Amino acid sequence: MKKELTQSGTLRSELPAKINIEECLTAEAIGYNPNKNDRLLILREINDMFTAFDIDKSERAIELLINDITDKYFAESVDDIAYCLRKGRQGYYTEKIYGKNFNMQVFTSWMTHHLEEKYTKRERIITEAKKAMSEVWTTREEYVEAARLGKVVNEILAKQKKQSDEFERNYNIFKGKYFANKSN
């Protein structure tokens, strides 16, 4: 396998065996144009799920599913998609796969549950950090915990700012290409 750099510039040929929801909060978004490495990681997760459920899909069907997932969830990370597929495969979400019927509708239902969990956790962390920062600390442990929560919040906010700037830039590029093609 040819290894490629991720958007952040780090080599990533495999996802960790365990992914937790906190990692999803600070993971880098796929973006409008996912790189080949990110697509390969998603493909591995989908293949693992199909193997677990004994689902046989054509390569074209799998490619379409990956395209649909990356188009719809470009603002989320590969970690989010992997976490969602793993939790869905383990039966954590209410939408069941009947027979061999896994499609975008099932995945969207699973992803809705995952994103609810993710953003609930994010809001809880931010609320705890704000509360901890406004309190008077009586022990060193309280101060350390408040600082840790503040760091997590800063990482989340920095990620949001970076994504917002990147999406705005990509949108302007897309819009320019669209109107250039339309005028021709």
In angstroms, rounded to a whole number, what is the distance separating the alpha carbons of residues 168 and 155? 20
* Res 6: pLDDT: 44
Domain count across the chain? 1
Domain that holds residue 156: 22-183
Residue 157 lies in a domain: yes
Question: Is 57 contained in some domain?
Answer: yes
Task: Name the token pair of 85.
Answer: 């597929």
Residue 13, domain member (yes or no)? no
As given in the structure block, the two tokens for residue 117 are 């969990």
Around Cβ 50, how many Cβ atoms within 10 Å?
Answer: 17
Within a domain: residue 4? no
Whole-model pTM: value is 0.66
Whether 12 maps to a domain, the answer reads: no
Tell me which residues of the chain have a pLDDT lower than 70. Answer: 1-13, 95-96, 98-100, 133-138, 184
> Is 121 domain-assigned?
yes
pLDDT of residue 1: 34
Judge whether 3 lies within some domain: no
Asked whether 123 and 109 are in contact (CB, 8 A), the reply is no
2 in any annotated domain: no
Chain-centroid distance of CA 23 in Å reads: 9
